[in-house]
Structure 1
């Protein structure tokens, strides 16, 4: 018995969201790990850097492999990586174990961003185009924020604050792994998969300007999101006087939880207009975040962070709609891999610099650097969007 294409589509959505959900669960516990295990801001920066490098490497090396092996083996691989990471986090008592778990989660996210997202597009024949673009662009933000909030809530009010979320996830992931066996396969396996491992990025012909615009958008938004992931709990504790796991989750998730709403809103505007609106709002919001941290304004900080997520959804969904339009199934995984390699690079390189200076700079000074980078990248995206008309 095989699932229908519609059921396979929703299964793919579930796996894509769950992959990022799992990767978001440790983030709200970082401050707990910092206090109980003696982890430093530099340690947390390195852990987050390991996550982003693993995701980018998976995209760069394995981004096109499902064109040869079929899509389903990559679904199995991602789920097994997530199960293993949850098992590791159940016994997390050192930075090395946390780093290994985050590397596995990053690897799963890299596979999901390209191969699972391509599978989702393959089986979306009966779904509206805007819904497909919304899910592929917003799943990382919605999943990660959902995971952070869920683990933060359980850590604050539930029993076994450091382990309950992972026990629950292992049950859910095991069920999804079994269900995946019955899903449709959208790509016929063929030879040559070893050659597909050669790192190579794919860019659709005639879409150079669209890609450059997309690069500006994702570098601006993902770099700021990486700052929240690595240093969000420390920002909350040191600048806003909040130390609970749930408040850490709310602060971190605020920067991405409205991304799906932004993606939905973008359908009402022509893509180049949506990109300008999104990036303009992002610039305003990022500088408001900086002012809020300087003054210690919690409500203003969360409000500006929510606007970042909304603006990211508007601009990113518009960019992906333009990039994926007219692309054949054979090139979807490669195109998505290129976009997400660029996205993760926007997190990796600033993260490496921030981790190197984390011992000598305050979290506010680090935030200034991230906001400056976001301003330059967002301005570049606005300028490039004018060439898409």
Structure 2
């Protein structure tokens, strides 16, 4: 075994852990928000503003620097982004008002948007063609696993640890510092493409070979991440406001139930055809949220969490199937751009409905807002399920795309023309 091969395999593990940790840091503030509301006397609208700033700035980063690592290299871009995320954790740990939280979330959002596509593309680079299916699996499973770890871990620290508004962020800052050292030792293995300055123009760009697959799998991204936004944005509020459970660990369990089952589902379906995985996910995105609403109607915590677990199947399989279906068409030198496009639509679905729900909840009540949110997720699930079934009927079995097959592409074709 060569030294380069050993380094690449070790680097694959380190980049995987870094990706999961980055997503964990994004979900960790959710269990802390109720503490801020109690300490500072602020309402749900203030928390919604903090949530909205993160989602908006992350999207700006994806649209501008999301594909920068294709041109400058994975390592320097990820290192710079990790420095930004660490700084945001330190800002959070010293926050004493909403304005400081907004500043920290803005810094975290831009840094996360800068790194997330680069990390996913780096995994594919390090895996090479022979292990591409593994890299695609990790790209789909690491975000749900990170959401679970961040939400549940922060809930435990807030409930049982000292300094509930500081400890979570200081722990994450230390772990991210270790990740920064690990990334600095991980090799870049793919050459850099020209056009770094041109790539900064805010346009979502996809290779021509990926556009059809991206459109076909769009409901998977929208439904799965819309469900994730529901759990992170309203999950702790639902268990406290509807069921009267104010334990921060229980609030974190809502996130962990959906995201954890999502990660496990992604692993268990790794050898299945992406279209079948997508179909399973869309079915879960229809059934799971409906059971959630049934639990709220019956005021039954077990039924509610059963819906959360079933929703996790939809989250994991929906995102995994869609991601594998799209990444299988991406050429090596445009992977970060493809992943940036995936995360643009995913985080729009993740953030926008949650922000609207946060503003409507004080006026309409929590239950009607949750019902409307669930309806949107179910509509995306039905659309994706219908498309998957129709595609299965039209496409002969032997012509289905092989999971992990990376096809070369003609020149990139942007979703919107450059000026």
Where on the TM-score scale, by shorter chain, does this alignment land: which range?
Answer: over 0.9
Partner in structure 2 of residue 124 of structure 1: 127
2:76 maps to 1:69 = no
Q: Which runs of 5+ in 2 are unaligned?
A: 396-419
Given that 1:144 and 1:253 are in contact with CA atoms closer than 8 Å, whether structure 2 keeps it comes out as: yes
Residues 76 and 207 of structure 1: CA distance in aligned 2, closer, same or farther (over 3 Å): closer
Given that 1:214 and 1:381 are in contact with CA atoms closer than 8 Å, whether structure 2 keeps it comes out as: yes
Given that 1:19 and 1:108 are in contact with CA atoms closer than 8 Å, whether structure 2 keeps it comes out as: no
Partner in structure 2 of residue 229 of structure 1: 232
* Cα distance in structure 1, aligned partners of 2:386 and 2:345: 19
Partner in structure 1 of residue 416 of structure 2: none
Q: Displacement, 1:231?
A: 2.0
Q: Mapping of 1:121-160 within 5 angstroms?
A: 121-125=124-128, 128-160=131-163
* Cα distance in structure 2, aligned partners of 1:149 and 1:370: 23
Q: Mapping of 1:266-305 within 5 angstroms?
A: 266-305=269-308
* Cα distance in structure 2, aligned partners of 1:204 and 1:192: 15
* Cα distance in structure 2, aligned partners of 1:65 and 1:243: 43
Given that 1:212 and 1:381 are in contact with CA atoms closer than 8 Å, whether structure 2 keeps it comes out as: no
Q: Displacement, 1:66?
A: 0.8
Of the structure 1 ranges 11-20 and 41-50, higher mean CA displacement relative to structure 2 is found in 41-50
C-alpha deviations, 1:316-341, integer Å up to 9, x for none? 22222221124221111111111111
Residues 349 and 176 of structure 1: CA distance in aligned 2, closer, same or farther (over 3 Å): closer
Of the structure 1 ranges 368-377 and 179-188, higher mean CA displacement relative to structure 2 is found in 179-188
Of the structure 1 ranges 7-16 and 322-331, higher mean CA displacement relative to structure 2 is found in 322-331
Partner in structure 2 of residue 307 of structure 1: 310
Q: Mapping of 1:1-389 within 5 angstroms?
A: 4-125=7-128, 128-189=131-192, 191-385=194-388, 386-387=390-391, 389=395
* Cα distance in structure 2, aligned partners of 1:347 and 1:175: 28
Q: Displacement, 1:268?
A: 4.4
Q: Displacement, 1:373?
A: 0.9
* Cα distance in structure 2, aligned partners of 1:343 and 1:314: 14
* Cα distance in structure 1, aligned partners of 2:43 and 2:235: 13
* Cα distance in structure 2, aligned partners of 1:104 and 1:66: 19
Q: Displacement, 1:209?
A: 4.2
Residues 26 and 239 of structure 1: CA distance in aligned 2, closer, same or farther (over 3 Å): same
* Cα distance in structure 2, aligned partners of 1:305 and 1:375: 14
User: TM-score normalised to the size of structure 1?
Assistant: 0.94
Q: Displacement, 1:195?
A: 0.9
Aligned length: 389
SS in 1 for 2:364: coil
* Cα distance in structure 1, aligned partners of 2:158 and 2:246: 12
Q: Displacement, 1:207?
A: 4.2
Q: Displacement, 1:263?
A: 1.0
Given that 1:279 and 1:382 are in contact with CA atoms closer than 8 Å, whether structure 2 keeps it comes out as: yes
